[in-house]
Amino acid sequence: MARERRYVVGTVDEIPPGQRKVVEVAGRSIGVFNLGGEFFAIRNRCPHQGGPLCSGRASGLISSSVPGEYHYSRPGEIIRCPWHGWEYDLRTGQSWFDPRSVRVRAYEVTVAPGEELMADPEMGGYIKGPYVAETYPVTVEKTYVLVEVPT
């Protein structure tokens, strides 16, 4: 089983609500989306023919229970591939064409304060040793977005 590794992909301020950021992580192009303060990440490659999925249009769902009556829901949660229009749910990666067998890879996303990352050895933080030097207080005032990718 592949082990997940967290990667800092930016600060919360860099990806405002309704926006996205495409990043390169562990050799993969990944789109990180802010849906009303919740962050989601998907692979920037459409399973259909490899199009740049995350540069497509984000929209919602239109449903109808009777002819002439329409309901719009989930604004900004559906991404449409710019090449052929295949649609995927940003929250799960599932396609709307064939949700049982077609999906785009979705990645776990967390938000963590900078001071937490400084203490995490996996994120490049330091492990306390037996010798202590004189130190000065340091504060990190940003909150970061992290994507978990298998290594």
DSSP 135: -
* CATH (residue range 4-110+145-150): 2.102.10.10
Pick from 41, 26, 148, 15: nearest CA to 93: 41
CA angle 45, 51, 57 (to 5 degrees): 90
Could you report the per-residue pLDDT of 108-141, keeping only the tens digit for each? Answer: 999 988 777 666 666 655 555 566 666 666 666 7
Q: What percent of the chain has pLDDT over 70?
A: 81
What is the pTM assigned to this prediction? Answer: 0.78
* Residue 143 clears pLDDT 80, i.e. is over it: yes
Contacts for 57 with CB less than 8 Å, ≥ 6 apart: 79, 80, 82
Calpha distance 72→142 (Å, rounded): 35
pLDDT given for residue 140 in this prediction: 64
* Residue 34 clears pLDDT 90, i.e. is over it: yes
CA angle 56, 61, 64 (to 5 degrees): 145
Helix (H) or strand (E) holding 79: strand 69-80
